């Protein structure tokens, strides 16, 4: 398994603000030629309004992709289905909005599998440390048997994933005062992690001090040294402007996460079948666009963040994995996820425990 920082398979555009705008336009643009005339069933004139909650900023590729998809859905449905996106935690924190989507107060929540794992335990299995070598492996797993298994687990909570998952990237560690070169540099570090048991256990296994801070409060927590650092993919580091309060970024690629758009099952199934088909098709297509744009953007961001003052270093993941093995991290999670889910993960990752 390669432990190197995953690189984009796509050729990187020229670095700079123009390149970033071009990348984001890939997912923001609504392709006029893709909306087939006559695709909408016109027998019903009823109109439906729905809401999507998401905690990350409006400038993030996932939020942009959702807004682009909703614009296409409105057009393809001849105005019968209007879905509004509320970014930046406007409707509440991840924990709050997950509760609201379960009750039906919100129709959809788009958040990370690390968050969904608190409710649907197997949803966080993709976050097992150092499980995926590269993006080719990730998408085989998430669009294959492992992804199917995860999606099916939402049903017992009266929830339904809609469309493919969005890329949230391989996660890297940032620190205010030092680069992370090996496990000893993480020992004792106050690191912000999402409200996720598997993320907390990963850093506890590395003898760090993981701390949960809502994403909307993270910038301030870094600025005031409530935490020493955090871990996220480069597009999230950029969207959150963490480069303003963090000097070092280390390519640990310690795990990979995704965002899943999940609907309240009652609200979703109440929609006419043709509207569900339109929405699913368009959300699927925009998830694929987001994946390509996220990966390309990831490949261009190092130069931008360096220009903003961040320093980067490559990290060998093997010593981290050895420490986690000794700490019992992999055997603990194998027991928690169970033999069926773990076997599906190892189908793509290779032997972990």
Find all residues with CB under 8 Å of 59, minimum gap 6, and list them.
24, 239
In this structure, the answer to whether residues 118 and 51 fall within a common structural domain is: yes
Q: 2-44, pLDDT tens digit by residue?
A: 333 443 333 333 344 554 555 555 555 543 333 333 333 334 4
Residues 117 and 164 in one domain: yes
143-167 pLDDT, tens digit per residue, is 999 999 999 999 999 999 999 999 9
What is the average per-residue pLDDT within 226-255?
A: 96
Mean pLDDT of the region 253-267? 98
Average pLDDT score over residue span 211-231: 96
Strand partners, 111: 260
Task: For residues 81 and 74, give the distance between their C-alpha atoms in angstroms, rounded to a whole number.
Answer: 6
Q: Are residue 112 and residue 202 in the same domain, yes or no? A: no
CA distance 86 to 186: 35
Say yes or no: 67 and 85 in one domain.
Answer: yes
The verdict on residue 178 lying in a domain is yes
Let me know whether 58 and 78 are in one domain.
yes
pLDDT at 299 (0 to 100): 86
The predicted structure's pLDDT at residue 40:
35
Model confidence pLDDT, tens digit, residues 75-90: 999 999 999 999 999 9
Q: Which ranges in the chain belong to alpha helices (H)? A: 17-28, 61-76, 94-103, 113-116, 135-142, 145-152, 183-186, 197-205, 215-223, 234-239, 265-269, 273-307, 318-326, 329-337, 339-349
Asked if pLDDT for residue 48 goes beyond 80, the answer is: yes
Give the pLDDT confidence score for residue 298 in this predicted structure. 87
Provide the number of structural domains found in the chain. Answer: 2
Can you give the residue range of the structural domain that contains 91? 17-33+47-168+257-300
Q: How far apart are CA 74 and CA 82, in angstroms?
A: 5
**What pLDDT is stored for residue 353 in this prediction?**
85
Predicted TM-score (pTM) of this structure: 0.84
What is the per-residue pLDDT for 24? 54
- pLDDT at 257 (0 to 100): 97
Average pLDDT of the residues of the chain: 90
Helix segments in 163-313, DSSP class H:
183-186, 197-205, 215-223, 234-239, 265-269, 273-307
Which pLDDT value is given to residue 29?
52
Q: Are residues 283 and 324 in the same domain?
A: no
The whole-number pLDDT of residue 28 equals 53
Q: Is residue 271 domain-shared with residue 314, that is, in the same domain?
A: no
283-293: pLDDT as tens digits: 999 999 999 99
Mean pLDDT throughout 271-290? 98
The first and second tokens of residue 203, run together, are 């850093």
Do 97 and 109 form a contact (C-beta atoms < 8 A)?
yes
- More confident of the two residues 203 and 17: 203
- Please give the pLDDT value at position 331: 97
Please indicate, yes or no, if residue 126 is contained in any of the structural domains.
yes
Same domain, 145 and 202: no
* Mean per-residue pLDDT, 239-260: 97
Mean predicted confidence (pLDDT) in 135-144: 97
Pairing of strands 229-232, 172-175: antiparallel
Pair (55, 146) in one structural domain? yes
């Amino acid at each position: 398994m390669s432990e190197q920082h995953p690189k984009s398979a796509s050729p990187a555009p020229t670095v700079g603000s123009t390149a970033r705008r071009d990348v984001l336009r890939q997912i923001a643009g609504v392709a006029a030629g893709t909306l087939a005339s006559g695709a909408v069933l016109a027998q019903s004139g009823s109109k439906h309004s729905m809401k999507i909650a998401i905690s990350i900023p409006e400038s993030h590729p996932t939020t942009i992709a959702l807004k682009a998809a909703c614009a296409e859905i409105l057009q393809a449905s001849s105005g019968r289905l209007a879905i509004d996106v509320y970014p930046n935690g406007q409707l509440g924190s991840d924990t709050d909005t997950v509760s609201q989507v379960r009750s039906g107060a919100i129709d959809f929540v788009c958040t990370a599998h690390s968050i969904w794992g608190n409710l649907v335990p197997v949803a966080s299995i993709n976050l097992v440390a150092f499980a995926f070598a590269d993006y080719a492996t990730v998408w085989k797993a998430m669009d294959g048997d492992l992804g199917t298994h995860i999606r099916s687990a939402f049903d017992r909570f009266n929830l339904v994933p809609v469309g493919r998952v969005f890329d949230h990237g391989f996660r890297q560690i940032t620190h205010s005062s030092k680069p992370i070169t090996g496990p000893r540099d993480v020992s004792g570090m106050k690191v912000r992690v999402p409200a996720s048991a598997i993320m907390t256990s990963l850093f506890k296994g590395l003898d760090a001090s993981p701390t949960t801070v809502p994403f909307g409060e993270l910038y301030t927590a870094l600025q005031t040294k409530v935490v020493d650092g955090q871990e996220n993919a480069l597009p999230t580091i950029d969207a959150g402007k963490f480069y303003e309060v963090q000097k070092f970024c280390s390519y640990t690629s310690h795990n990979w996460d995704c965002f899943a758009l999940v609907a309240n099952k009652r609200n979703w199934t109440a929609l006419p079948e043709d509207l569900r088909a339109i929405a699913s098709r368009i959300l699927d297509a925009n998830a694929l666009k987001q994946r390509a744009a996220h990966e390309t953007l990831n490949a261009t961001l190092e130069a931008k963040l360096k220009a903003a003052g961040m320093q980067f270093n490559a990290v060998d993941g093997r010593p981290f994995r050895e420490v986690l093995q000794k700490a019992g991290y992999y055997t603990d999670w194998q027991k928690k996820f169970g033999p069926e889910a773990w076997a599906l993960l190892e189908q793509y990752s290779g032997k972990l425990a």
